[in-house]
Structure 1
């Protein structure tokens, strides 16, 4: 179904029954990334973020700002009639989920972050990442979506995905190829990690239960997950063996077991 917020249509799918969990996908992904995820006693509310999937891909960059994203998400969730819910975010979706939980903490029951950053820490790191995001955005605009799909699939954090079945690899590539170059470029320029606010110092404010999941082979986000645990005693960090950056695709069974255990507590 579609829900319109301030002239922007968002694509939403609801799966299962029970306590609601809002699910936010990663960059260049869409709601089909959660295809194999089913949680006991929980209803998954899958949302295509702006510029992704079947949601609108506006030209105006203002719609890609974090402030607008968070406001639209809250209004969308309100229209669904939800007052208390958990939130699950993968990678870029995890950054957005973290920012959302800091603004609307009373609405969040539990927060689940998969391979997600709290934002680049330090002025030099932020400037370097912002410059890299801008370069990539321009390359996407110039070279097209096929170039991006090839480039993105060969990043080191996705190396372990080469072990997946051919059909699964094809599905991942299909999602990437279905993107709009303009929307991906706008996302990188406006809410890429270089522009995203560093939330490291605010994590301590969260009093809700938080699960952070990372993959064994994803060195960067194993460290980030460890840092989350140091920053807030409510964070439980779980590392899934044999996985890289995208644990919910690389080993959906283990991912589901970890989530079900966390949600039952």
Structure 2
């Protein structure tokens, strides 16, 4: 289905029956990344972010601002008649889920973050990341989506995905190739880690149960997961063995088991 919020059409898919859980995908992905997600007793509400999947891809960068995204997601959820729900976010979707949970804390019953950052806390790292985001955004506009797919798939963070079956790698590539250059560029400039607020100090304010999931081979986000756990007693960190950054795609059965055990 499509739900229009302030002239922007969002693609939404609902799977299963039970308590609602909002699922937010990562950068250059779309809601089909949750194809193998199975959560017992939960209704999955899958949303394509603005600029991704079948949602609108406006050229104006104002729609890609974090405050606009959070506001639109909340209005979309209200259109579905929901007041209480859980939320799951992967990578960029996890950063946005964290920001959302801090803004709409009374609505979130449980929060699951997969391979997600709280934002760059070091000033020099933020400056360097902002520069990297801008350069990548420019390259995507100039070189196109096919170039981006090859570049992104060869990042070291996705090295473990090279061992996946050919059909799974094809699905990942197809999701990236379905994007448009201006939309990915706008996303990087507005909500990439270089411009994303740092919520490290606010994590202590989360009162709902939180699960952080990381992959064994993803050293950076394993360390971040450990930090999350130390920052708030409501957060538990689980590491899935023999996977990298995208645990729900690389080992869907293990990911499902880990999340189902948390949601019980």
The answer to whether TM tops 0.5 is: yes
Q: Distance in 2 between matches of 1:67 and 1:57?
A: 17
SS in 1 for 2:248: helix
Does 1:109 pair with 2:109? yes
Deviates more, 1:122-131 or 1:211-220: 122-131
Does 1:247 pair with 2:247? yes
Report the Cα offset of residue 38 of structure 1: 1.1
- 1:164 aligned residue: 164
| Per-residue deviation, residues 87-127 of structure 1 (Å, max 9, x unmatched) | 00000000000000000000000000000000011211111
Q: Distance in 2 between matches of 1:176 and 1:44?
A: 22
Q: Distance in 1 between matches of 2:121 and 2:132?
A: 15
- 1:174 aligned residue: 174
- 2:71 aligned residue: 71
- Over aligned residue pairs, what C-alpha RMSD do you find? 0.4
Q: Distance in 1 between matches of 2:95 and 2:132?
A: 18
- 2:49 aligned residue: 49
SS in 1 for 2:120: coil
Matches within 5 A, 1:128-207: 128-207=128-207
Q: Distance in 2 between matches of 1:167 and 1:86?
A: 30
Q: Distance in 2 between matches of 1:204 and 1:147?
A: 40
Q: Distance in 2 between matches of 1:259 and 1:167?
A: 25
| Per-residue deviation, residues 147-174 of structure 1 (Å, max 9, x unmatched) | 0000000001100001110011011001
Does 1:236 pair with 2:244? no
Does 1:84 pair with 2:80? no
The number of equivalent residue pairs is: 264
Report the Cα offset of residue 203 of structure 1: 0.2
SS in 1 for 2:157: helix
Report the Cα offset of residue 228 of structure 1: 0.1
Q: Distance in 2 between matches of 1:124 and 1:36?
A: 39
> If the length of structure 1 is used for normalisation, what is the TM-score?
0.99
- 2:123 aligned residue: 123
- 2:4 aligned residue: 4
Q: Distance in 2 between matches of 1:63 and 1:36?
A: 30
- 1:15 aligned residue: 15
Q: Distance in 2 between matches of 1:20 and 1:142?
A: 41
| Per-residue deviation, residues 127-185 of structure 1 (Å, max 9, x unmatched) | 11000000000000111100000000000110000111001101100111110000000
| Per-residue deviation, residues 9-31 of structure 1 (Å, max 9, x unmatched) | 00000000000000000000000
What are structure 1's unaligned runs of at least 5 residues?
A: none
SS in 1 for 2:211: strand
SS in 1 for 2:109: strand
Q: Distance in 2 between matches of 1:224 and 1:43?
A: 29
